[in-house]
Amino acid sequence: MKPVLMIHGGAGKLVHQDQDKTRQALKKIYENAFEYLKHHSALEAVVYAVRLLEDCHLFNAGTGSKLQRDGKARMSASVMDGRSQKFSAVLNIENVKNPVQVATYLLHDHDSVLACHFATQFAREKGFPPYNPVTAQRKKEWQEQRKGLPYGTVGAVVRDRLGHLAAATSTGGKGLERLGRVSDSAMPAGNYANHKAAVSCTGIGEHIINEALASKIVVRVADGLSLKQAFQKSFREVTQNQHEIGAIGVDAKGTVCLAHSTPMIHVAYLNSKGKLVVLP
């Protein structure tokens, strides 16, 4: 069975600043992750892809995360294995390089979702060293009180060579948010998978939570709609509610879908002819 990968680097306003760099980064990350997928499981591959996105300062996840009101980076990430239908997440974790890897460690723990300094403490117990994800650019943006930057949550969806599905999503938040605010990226609303489909969302977290979008799309596929139909129906509702959201998905047949109600979304995937497409 042919492996399938789709990744996103956030949705928001269309700007020209660093567009070429962002496209090239997304292209390189996709190529590396797809090569990795050829020899690894869906779960391993989504974590690997999102880890690469977290390591790129151009995206708002891991290194380069936006800063909250007090100038600190608090990150959230989740992983869902479609084969076992297990979900795990960390919320508002601090001072780690790859929140998605910490979330993965919780997949087989009785307590699969941890928040704040307890999540950070868990990371230390598992051997993750202290790491400062704040870049000079994000510090400058925070000092200038800039909002509405174009890059947000990152994520990946995968079908591996055995037909198993998985999704992973990671974010640095929306920036300047109230302390304690929880992102959709560490909820089934923003990241969900089963044996029928896998979906990762980006955009305004509160809008995604209100729509319960990732889980809604996957459940609609499980109930009999095609992935395309589930995306179309769900995004009609998104548009009607005037919500700003983007999403990517893959189903058990290897079909990929994407949709967004924002002006743009950063996405990379192989089309039906096997050609790499990088948007916008």
Give 208-228 pLDDT, tens digit per residue. Answer: 999 999 999 999 999 999 999
Q: Looking at the 3D structure of the chain, how many domains does it have?
A: 1
User: Which residues are 276's β-sheet partners?
Assistant: 270
Quote the CA–CA distance of 67 and 133 in Å, as a whole number: 10
**Whether residue 280 has a cis bond before it, omega within 30° of 0:** yes
Cα three-residue angle 36-42-46, rounded to 5 degrees: 70
What are the tens digits of pLDDT across the range 175-209?
888 899 999 999 999 999 999 999 999 999 999 99
Using N-to-C axis directions, what is the helix angle for 19-37 and 42-55, rounded to 10°?
Answer: 150
Range of the domain at 232: 4-279
pLDDT at 17 over 90: no
Q: Give yes or no: 239 in active site.
A: no
- For residue 137, CA distances in Å to 58, 118, 140, 146, 198 come to 10, 28, 5, 11, 33
Q: Please give the residue that has the higher pLDDT: either 277 or 177.
A: 277
Can you tell me the mean pLDDT for 246-253? 98
The catalytic position among 22, 153, 171, 262 is 153
pLDDT of residue 15: 57
The domain that holds 136 is classified in CATH as 3.60.20.30
Closest listed residue to residue 53, CA positions, set 43, 65, 36: 65
